[in-house]
Amino acid sequence: MPTAILLAGGRSSRSGRRHKACRRLPGSVWLDRQIDALRAAGCGEVRLVLGARPRRVLACLHRRVPLRLNRRHALGPFVSLQTGLAPLRDDVLILPIDVPVPPPWLVRALVRALRPGIAVAIPRHNGRGGHPVLLARDFAETLMHLDPAAPEARLDLQLRALPPDRRAGIKGSREVLEDLNETQAWRDYRQRGGH
């Protein structure tokens, strides 16, 4: 069972007044649904990484999860990733807060794809990589030791730098490409019946 890291350390400046994690849904908020969905998908521990405006996110959190605070969030999302990785005990599923959790079958497929020698399993749709990505523990450890101020301190660049035989692609649904970063994208997602 991988550890899930839910990244909610950004400012949410493009999503309107409310933090993305606190968007309201019938009966709950987005953050609680994301945590529940990660658990239902088979993740062991679910860690929540906060950064800018942590009180806003904590005000809408109704689940018990380990919290990590990225005090250097101004350096960007890679520092939030590094903050969430420590301590590292398992393979790690990485999910930004503004991306829907995929169905459990896809998480299981990512776990099966992470065979020895594979550093990352990535869901794909129409030829494009999406979220969440599953990092093998040894690869995640190398990310923990990168200088967060270095130009290569970006997860997408680190994934592209891997040889093709160390990456596993898993066919996923349209949701793996969803980015609910802006208010209109969220409305469109809800109109299509998402969560």
Q: Rounded to an integer, what distance in angstroms lies between the CA atom of residue 173 and that of residue 151? A: 32
pLDDT digits (tens, 9 = 90+) for 60-90: 999 999 999 999 888 888 999 999 998 888 9
Q: Rounded to an integer, what distance in angstroms lies between the CA atom of residue 153 and that of residue 162? A: 14
Q: How confident is the model at residue 48 (pLDDT cuts 50, 70, 90)?
A: very high
- Mean pLDDT calculated for residue range 41-58: 90
pLDDT at residue 170, rounded to an integer:
93
- pLDDT for 15 beyond 50: no
φ and ψ at residue 101, rounded to 5 degrees: -70, 135
pLDDT digits (tens, 9 = 90+) for 85-123: 988 889 999 999 988 888 999 999 999 999 999 999 999
- pLDDT for 16 beyond 70: no
Q: Which domains does the chain have, with CATH numbers?
A: 3-191 (3.90.550.10)
pLDDT at residue 45, rounded to an integer:
93
